[in-house]
Structure 1
Amino acid sequence: MLTLEGLHHVALICSDYDRSRAFYVDLLGLRVVAETYRAARQSWKLDLELPDGARVELFTFPGAPARPSRPEALGLRHLAFRVADVTAAKQWLEAQGVAVEEIRIDALTGKRFTFFADPDELPLELYER
């Protein structure tokens, strides 16, 4: 039997490495684990870590196509981050100039959540623990 132990990482392809690096590291506070330029691929790979050990990998690839629509394109719908207080997180992001949707209640769990976007318009969610 297969026993999954948790989520190791989510990989994202970004259009502007410096802008996305600043967003995920400086704004969201993810810790840099490794930063590698792969000359043969003309590509950056940035390994980031959240406090619980889950990782986000940022990649660049020359000529990567844009995401076709938000958020109902096939593939990853959104990336959700767990927070203690959705209201406080929303207010902090807005103070940093990030547009954040109104807080909603998950009808299935009763938990509060909201959405915002990364520099490439990838939908990101804040989900209250």
Structure 2
Amino acid sequence: MIKLKQLAHVCIFAHDLDATRAFYEDVLGMKTVFDFTREGRVFGFYLAIGGRSHVEVFEASGAARGDSRPIDHMCLEVENILDAAMHIRGKGVEVTEPTKGVDETYQAWVTDPNGVKIELFEYTDRSAQFTGGDREANW
């Protein structure tokens, strides 16, 4: 049996590496851990999310696999969703108003320069991720 620990990384194919790096570093506050290079040219990089989780980014033209979307979305836990939304807006990036989902977790949504949707999460004491129990979807 495999014992899973946590999300290791999410891989994104970027159409513009510089804009993607700026979004994840300047808007979301991630830090580049290392670059992927080929013949002295950067074609990808690894960003630290926190703990041992990362976002892996590759140039779409050099790494694309088929016609699939870059990814549907990834979810990042934040300490304070209202502060996170205010920070993102302060960077000139649109973010939805934080709302509480049927899972009793606050969420807001932002999109990176490649069209990747990012869900921001703030857990509560009643979040289904910790308390369990089925939830009726309202979307």
TM class by shorter chain equals 0.7 to 0.9
Compare 114-123 and 21-30 and name the one that shifted more. 21-30
Structure 1 spans left out of the alignment, 5+ residues: 69-74
Give the Å deviation of 1:6. Answer: 1.4
Aligned residues: 121
* 1:45 partner SS: strand
Give runs of aligned pairs for residues 1-40 of structure 1, distance below 5 A.
Answer: 1-39=1-39
Aligned pairs for 1:1-129 within 5 A: 1-39=1-39, 44-62=43-61, 64=64, 76-107=71-102, 109-129=103-123
Instruction: Provide the C-alpha distance between the structure 2 equivalents of 1:101 and 1:67, rounded to a whole number of angstroms.
Output: 26
For the residue of structure 1 that corresponds to 2:61, the secondary structure is: coil
Rounded to whole Å, the distance in 1 between the matches of 2:67 and 2:95 is 22
Q: Is the 8 A contact 1:43 1:59 kept in 2?
A: no
Q: Provide closer, same or farther for how the CA distance between residues 61 and 77 of structure 1 changes in structure 2, counting only shifts above 3 A.
A: closer
* 3-state DSSP of counterpart to 2:50: coil
CA distance in 2, matches of 1:27, 1:116: 10
- d(CA) in 1 for partners of 2:81, 2:60: 33
Deviation track 1:51-108 (CA, whole Å, cap 9, x = no partner) reads 222011010032757766xxxxxx843111100111111011111111011222111x
TM-score (ref. length: structure 1): 0.82
Q: CA RMSD in A?
A: 2.3
CA contact (8 A) 1:46 1:57 kept: yes
Distance 2:81 2:20 in 1: 22
3-state DSSP of counterpart to 1:50: strand
SS of the residue 1:44 aligns to: strand
TM-score (norm 2): 0.76
Unaligned stretches of 5+ residues in structure 2:
124-139
Quick one: distance in 1 between partners of 2:67 and 2:115? 10
Runs of 4+ in 1 over 3 A off after TM superposition: 63-68
**What is the letter of the counterpart of residue 128 of structure 1?**
E
Separation (CA, whole Å) in 1 of partners of 2:49 and 2:122:
16
Which has the greater radius of gyration? 2
Q: Name the CA distance, whole Å, in 1 between partners of 2:68 and 2:99.
A: 25
Counterpart-to-counterpart distance in 2, 1:114 and 1:8:
22
